[in-house]
Amino acid sequence: MSVKGLLAILFFYSIQLFSQTESKTIILKDKDTDAPIEDVTVTLLKTKQNLLSNANGIVTFELTGSTNIQIKHSSYLPINLRSNTLKETVNTIYLTSNVNELEDIVITKKHPQKILASLIENSKKRLTVPGRLKVYCREFFKLNGKYSYFNDGLMNFQLLDKSRKTDAIILVEQNRSINLTNDFVKDDLLGYNLNDIMENYYNFKYLNPLLDAVAKKEYDFVIKVFSKNKDYNVISAVPNENASGLLDDFTIIYDPDKKLIIEVSSIVSPLVLSKIKEKTSLGSKNIYKSMFKTIYKLQNNNYYLIGSKEEIGFEKNEKNAKKDIEVRNYFLTKNFSTSYYKFKEEEVFKDKTLHNKKNVILTDYWNESGLTATEDEQQIINTIEEIH
């Protein structure tokens, strides 16, 4: 064999070796407590793919070639590493908390409500629009304690710049909606309304209750700074003893220099729920669980929504019995781009949810979603795959 032929073969095999795809798993844990860390943003900088750790602190992804990996969480010090340091198929990485010592500080003489209002206004202006979000969404539904319905999908949101709101054109690439029982009633579904979800997230609609004038009387506002990480400040708003109604505990994490909101979370506390009078009228709902979280990302001068999670549980008074319903939603931006995609008008998705859309399954898109299922969720997904 000639030298040229040998070199060609070696070059071919080197390309094959370099382009070989490996499956990698990272388990993210607290350095001090060994507890898994949920909602850690992991970014593969080579492909700009975003991943989000699940409740077990796990992210799983396919790796082709080497890349820098960025690991971030608002409550932990960030880490940057090379993919070639992940020697095992499953790798545990420990993060150092930056919230062990939160100190109350006076940021300004302004009331925190005014600071929050200015943060919202500035964040709305800085969100990168127009832009394109390639999104994976997943929803689980429970009826009377049993999983009864599931849907997920891979879609593109083309954000349009409008003077008063952020509108979006939606193209669904793939999706599946599965009824897991015969007695599930679709009227009970409380999943995403995909037509207005981006407007809500990009206008910070969930923070509106804190901007009302009455909020000053109902909430105790506190501003804190991370003692180990000056990059973020925290606004906490908790209903006080004079408050009434179904009010959330809010936490807003923001960048004090850039004046941008990084994370918003809220939860209705057990104390608040215990004060709510039970409704007994036919068709009324008694909420026993409610939480919400959104995460925003600033990278390469682009500022965009990276993920959200919502969960609600309530009992609905039916004619002959109470119906227990739980809904859990996930939403993850896999990739962000300022590119504009071409489409035909008939390709635009205009329904509120994926429930009634015919299933379109071209690939195992859920395995490359960037959102690893927990063991409990994976059992449901396995059941779905057996059905189909």
pLDDT digits (tens, 9 = 90+) for 143-154: 888 888 888 999
Q: Are 145 and 378 in contact (CB under 8 A)?
A: no
Give the pLDDT mean for 164-179. Answer: 84
Which of 48, 68, 95 is a domain's end point? 95
Residue 294 included in any domain: yes
How far is it, in rounded angstroms, from Cα 297 to Cα 286? 35
Which one, of 40, 45, 49, lies nearest residue 333 by Cα? 49
Element spanning 72, H or E: strand 68-73
In a domain, 4, yes or no: no
Q: What is the pLDDT of residues 176-215, one digit of tens each?
A: 988 887 665 555 555 668 888 888 999 999 999 999 999 9
Of 72, 95, 118, at which residue does a domain stop?
A: 95
Supply the pLDDT for residue 79. 93
pLDDT of 104 above 80: no
Check pLDDT > 60 for residue 220. yes
Q: Are 282 and 307 in contact (CB under 8 A)?
A: no
Q: Band the pLDDT of 218: cuts 50, 70, 90.
A: very high
Q: Is residue 1 part of a domain?
A: no
* Burial degree of 141 (CB within 10 A; 0-12, 13-18, 19+): buried
108 and 83 housed in the same domain: no
Where are the alpha helices (H) located in the chain, listed in sequence order? Answer: 3-18, 112-126, 197-202, 208-211, 215-218, 270-275, 375-387
Rounded to the nearest angstrom, the gap between the alpha carbon of residue 206 and the centroid of all alpha carbons in its chain is 14
233 touches 225 (CB < 8 A) = yes
**At which of 95, 123, 152 does a domain end?**
95
Total tally of structural domains belonging to the chain? 2
Q: Is 139 among the domain residues? A: yes
**138 and 60 belong to one structural domain:** no
Distance CA 137, CA 133 (A): 12
**The pLDDT value given to residue 376:** 78
